[in-house]
Structures are given as C-alpha cells and as structure tokens.
C-alpha cells in the first residue's frame, strides 16, 4: 500500500472542507489522544511524578501506525488509525499506571477508538454534505506514523481548538 507524508495531506483535507462548519485543527495541534488523567486544578505534582515513574517502568517499544483518510462524525473530520493492537496495549499500560498513581480511572481500553482529527465542529452539518466532500478524499493514500513517545500534556480549550503544554515526554524504547 503506498504511503504519503501525513502532514502533506492535512492542508488539502482542511481546504476541501473549509466551506463546511468545521474548525481546522492547527498544524501544531494535530494529535492522537489516549486518555485523560485528571483536572489540572486537583491533580498533584507528586501524583504526576508517580505516574511518570510507573509509565516509564513498563513502556512498550516504538511502533508504526497507518493513518487512513478520511472519515467524519457529527463532531469531527478525522483519520482512522490502524492497527489498533499497539495502541490498545499502550493505553492499557497508561490506564494501569494512572490508577496506580491514584489519579482515577481513564476510560476503559475497550472504549478507545484511535483517530487523528483534522477539524472539529460544534455546529450541525448535514451528513450528506460531509459525505459528498469526503468521498474523493477517502481515495488518498494512507500515511505511516512513527510513534516514538508519549507526551504527558496539560490541555486546555482555546477558542475553537485544543492547546497544550508538554509536561513530560516518555520515550518508547
């Protein structure tokens, strides 16, 4: 299966849907979320350090994913991601480490639906309009993503985008 540079496709995809009520995700905001560990107001620095130690103790190895253009839901236009197996294993490890650090429970791994968004919508858009625009884009070649680390971030919502500051990186072996 041919692959292309992931970042090269995103401007094309965002331009194609620019007339629809979606807000493009900025280049530096493209991400794949694995879970949330807590609220920044109530999560102690000590718990975060415990979490980082637990994460690093059992970290998996780096792996490749394939980003498959493009699908949509009521709230987002996104890439599907495959295979799920390494992400599910990583999520399970992160969830166990989070619970072990006393930070509560992440969503169960069985609920994870890995994806990379390119645009979000807080407004309604007829599904037929989105399907029509996305049909030719679904023929774009898949992209290979090299997953080499997990970032622990402090996330916030700004205007029409999620933004974050990286607290710590945990490299995958």
Please state the rounded mean pLDDT for residues 89-111: 87
Q: Hey, CA dihedral for 63, 153, 104, 51, is it positive or negative?
A: positive
Candidate ranges 102-111, 114-123, 133-142; pick with highest mean pLDDT:
133-142
What's the rounded Cα separation, in Å, for the pair 135 and 172? 36
What is the pLDDT of the chain when averaged over all its residues?
85
Domain count, the chain: 1
Give pLDDT, residue 67.
92
CATH number (domain holding residue 167): 3.90.1140.10
Counts of helices then strands in the chain (DSSP H, E): 4, 7
Please state the rounded mean pLDDT for residues 122-142: 85
Burial of 77 (0-12, 13-18, 19+ CB in 10 A): buried
Q: Residue 161 — φ and ψ, nearest 5°?
A: -150, 155
pLDDT per position as a tens digit, 29-83: 888 888 888 887 888 888 888 888 888 887 788 999 999 878 887 788 899 999 9
Tell me if 22 is assigned to some domain: yes
CB 134 within 8 A of CB 21: no
Give pLDDT, residue 45.
82
| Domain boundaries, position 44 | 6-171
Tell me if 17 is assigned to some domain: yes
What's the rounded Cα separation, in Å, for the pair 122 and 22? 8
Tell me if 31 is assigned to some domain: yes
**Residue 1 pLDDT > 70:** no
Residue given tokens 């970042």 in the structure block = 7
Tell me if 127 is assigned to some domain: yes
SS3 content of the chain, % helix, strand, coil (to 5): 35, 30, 35
3 state DSSP class of 100: helix
Give pLDDT, residue 60.
80
Tell me if 1 is assigned to some domain: no
pLDDT per position as a tens digit, 5-14: 677 888 988 9
Please state the rounded mean pLDDT for residues 129-136: 88
Give pLDDT, residue 5.
63
Residue given tokens 């992440």 in the structure block = 106
Q: Which two tokens stand for residue 76?
A: 């987002």
**Residue 3 pLDDT > 50:** no
Tell me if 55 is assigned to some domain: yes
Non-local (6+) Cβ contacts of 143 within 8 A are: 3, 4, 5, 6, 9, 66, 67, 69, 79
Tell me if 125 is assigned to some domain: yes
Tell me if 69 is assigned to some domain: yes
């Amino acid at each position: 299966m041919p692959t292309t540079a992931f970042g090269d496709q995103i401007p094309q995809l965002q331009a194609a849907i620019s007339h629809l009520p979606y807000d493009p995700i900025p280049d530096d905001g493209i991400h794949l979320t694995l879970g949330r560990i807590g609220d920044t107001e109530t999560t102690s620095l000590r718990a975060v350090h415990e979490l980082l130690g637990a994460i690093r103790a059992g970290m998996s190895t780096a792996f490749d994913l394939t980003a498959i253009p493009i699908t949509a839901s009521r709230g987002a236009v996104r890439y599907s991601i495959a295979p799920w197996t390494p992400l599910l294993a990583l999520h399970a490890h992160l969830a166990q480490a989070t619970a072990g650090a006393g930070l509560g429970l992440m969503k169960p791994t069985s609920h994870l639906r890995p994806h990379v968004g390119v645009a979000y919508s807080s407004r309604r858009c007829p599904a037929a309009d989105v399907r029509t625009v996305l049909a030719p884009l679904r023929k774009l070649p898949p992209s290979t993503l090299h997953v080499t680390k997990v970032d622990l971030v402090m996330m916030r919502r700004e205007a029409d985008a999620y933004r974050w500051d990286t607290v710590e990186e945990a490299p995958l072996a």
